[in-house]
Amino acid sequence: MTTGRAGKERQYERLARRFYARIYSYLRWLCRDQHLAEDLTQQTFVQIWRHPPQPRGDRPLRAWVYRIARNEFLQHRRGAGFETITLGDHDDAYEGHGDCPDPQIRLEQKELCQAVQSALHRLPELYREVIVLHNMESLPLSGVAQVLGVPEGTVKSRRAKAFALLRNMLADEVDPKPMRSSSSPEVG
């Protein structure tokens, strides 16, 4: 049986290397708490250890791992209540706003990232989760549907609604009008 256990350990190590950081990031977006995300990520991988993946046919392994993480998050939220933290606690995910040497451009990029982050955090969980899974974690829409346990059409609808909500939220924070020069184009 040592071969079985050794095989299980190798499989677990491959899964952990492949998914640990991404699952942590996903859970961090869901619960908005670094320490809780760390705990839920560990619990996700404890569940993976206890119940290793079986051949899944047409079901992608990545969607299965995210589904376990989501279930851990939902179970925690049901059992222990749910607290949120300030938006500033997630700033480390937005460091390195480009390598532009112009300080004004870097400042504008940082402010834009903060505006997007703030808008994402204000999205209802129903929509934020679709954006995080599809646009940030690069799961295909079919994978997002599997993780959430809803039809793919529902995922598409939620994604469209999420982008509409984000556009509205960001319209107030980002002025799309070009700046006008104070000098007059008249020749005198």
Would you give per-residue pLDDT tens digits along the chain (188 residues)? 445 778 888 888 888 999 999 999 999 888 888 999 999 999 999 988 888 887 666 567 888 899 999 999 988 888 764 443 333 334 444 344 445 566 767 677 777 777 778 888 889 988 999 998 888 888 899 999 999 999 999 999 999 999 999 888 888 766 555 444 444 444 44
Query: By residue range, what is the domain housing residue 21?
Result: 1-84
Cβ-contact 94, 115 below 8 angstroms: no
Cβ-contact 161, 127 below 8 angstroms: yes
74 lies in the same domain as 93:
no
How many residues would you count in the chain? 188
Going from the C-alpha of 21 to that of each of 16, 17, 38, 45, 163, the distances in angstroms are: 8, 8, 10, 11, 26
76 lies in the same domain as 95:
no
Whether 48 is in a domain gets the answer: yes
108 lies in the same domain as 31:
no
54 lies in the same domain as 105:
no
CATH of the domain at 13: 1.10.1740.10
The region, left, alpha or beta by phi > 0 then psi within -120 to 50, assigned to residue 32 is: left
DSSP state of 178: P
Q: From 84, 116, 144, give the residue that closes a domain.
A: 84
Cβ-contact 26, 66 below 8 angstroms: yes
User: How many domains are contained in the chain?
Assistant: 2
Whether 149 is in a domain gets the answer: yes
pTM for the predicted model, two decimal places:
0.58
Q: From 23, 55, 84, give the residue that closes a domain.
A: 84
18 lies in the same domain as 72:
yes
Whether 188 is in a domain gets the answer: no
Whether 119 is in a domain gets the answer: yes
125 lies in the same domain as 51:
no
122 lies in the same domain as 158:
yes
With tokens 């993780």, the residue in question is 147
Whether 37 is in a domain gets the answer: yes
58 lies in the same domain as 98:
no
Whether 166 is in a domain gets the answer: yes
With tokens 């933290």, the residue in question is 85
Whether 22 is in a domain gets the answer: yes
2 lies in the same domain as 17:
yes
pLDDT the model gives residue 137: 85
Q: From 84, 112, 130, give the residue that closes a domain.
A: 84
DSSP codes of every residue in 113-155: HHHHHHHHHHS-HHHHHHHIIIIIS---HHHHHHHHTS-HHHH
| Cα–Cα dist 23/19, whole Å | 6
pLDDT the model gives residue 91: 40
| Cα–Cα dist 135/121, whole Å | 15
121 lies in the same domain as 164:
yes
CATH of the domain at 151: 1.10.10.10
